[in-house]
Structure 1
Amino acid sequence: MMDAIYLLFGQGRELDPLQMSARAVVVFVITLLLIRISGRRSFGKRSPFDSVVVILLGATLGRAIVGASPFVPTVLASLMIVVCHRLLAWACMRSHALERLVGGVEREVYSNGAFNEREMNAALMTPADVRESVRQTMGSRSLDNVAAAILERNGEVSVIRKEQ
């Protein structure tokens, strides 16, 4: 049985194209399972906290495909990344301070016809960045109909229209 597994998946870095392809299929299925465990949040519009999972899973599982690291320990390390993400997300649900530390805060960068320089400096944003978001969101070059622009925790800018 073990001989058949070694024949199909190879061992170490000496993999032929068929073995690497077989590993890719298995890693694909494992990744789908890990994504299901991690939850939709990790792969939607994500915060830096959620992006860490995406980056680490890609880097770690890629090593399993090409044989740069042992297969089973690499998959287990990937599982631990997902478990850590879930545990930290659970802890953030119960601690507002931890949520702010891990997920960040939203910043109101424009309101009442004025840019908030303090918030823009903290977010490393310029007025041009806000205007771009207004053009993309409202299809307007003018800020006249904008009540507020808020840099959300996921990096997107929400533009709130003035009430008519």
Structure 2
Amino acid sequence: MEMILRALAIYLILLAVFKIAGRRALLQMTSFDLILLLIISEATQQALLGNDFSVTGAMLTIITLVVVDILFGLMKKSIPGAESILDGTPIILVENGKLLPEKLKKVDVSCDDILVAARQDLGITELEKIKYAILERNGHISIISTEN
């Protein structure tokens, strides 16, 4: 039972940490972000398993994490507004070639981040050619060109 409670606690803590960190954390991973992710995974593994390194303990932990994730998925589908609370909503960052500074600041995204997405997605190099730039729930920036 202790392992199930550990897994549930770690799941909820990671959910809260990444919610606080925001979608910006998912936008672009640097080499330092990869190192940080590896350190977090190591710390999480120790917190999840404690001194129990058995196969049974690992399986119980994995099953608990997957079940909790499935339950959150069901909550998002069945409870109105749960998805917006847990995953957020898409946010328009550029409208008709103009940056929306208050929204950029809120989600900690820079003009450079938007232009990188525009270059990668559509080959756009100028802000004025972007009709909309939208920060999606998954952290990706969708670009809609003025030429559409």
TM-score class, shorter-chain normalisation, is 0.5 to 0.7
Check whether the contact 2:91–2:136 (CA below 8 A) recurs between aligned residues: yes
Distance 1:96 1:123 in 2: 24
Distance 1:126 1:77 in 2: 38
Any idea what the Cα deviations from partners look like across 1:114-153, whole Å, max 9, x if unmatched? 1111111111011111111111111121123311000111
Distance 2:76 2:122 in 1: 33
When the two structures are superposed, what TM-score results if normalisation uses the length of structure 2? Answer: 0.62
Match of 2:117 in 1: 133
Question: What aligned pairs does 1:62-81 form with structure 2 within 5 A after superposition?
Answer: 69-81=53-65
- The reply on whether 1:83 has 2:53 as its aligned counterpart is no
Aligned residues: 107
When the two structures are superposed, what TM-score results if normalisation uses the length of structure 1? Answer: 0.57
Identity %: 23
Structure 1 stretches lacking a partner, 5+ long: 1-46, 49-54
CA shift, 1:104, in A, is: 1.6
Match of 1:111 in 2: 95
SS in 1 for 2:116: helix
Q: Which of 1 and 2 has higher RCO (CA within 8 Å, sep 6+)? A: 2
Moved over 4 A (4+): none
Match of 1:144 in 2: 128
Any idea what the Cα deviations from partners look like across 1:57-82, whole Å, max 9, x if unmatched? xx65xx98xx9612212211110100
Q: What amino acid sits opposite 1:110 in the alignment?
A: V
Higher-Rg structure is 1
Structure 2 stretches lacking a partner, 5+ long: 1-22, 26-39
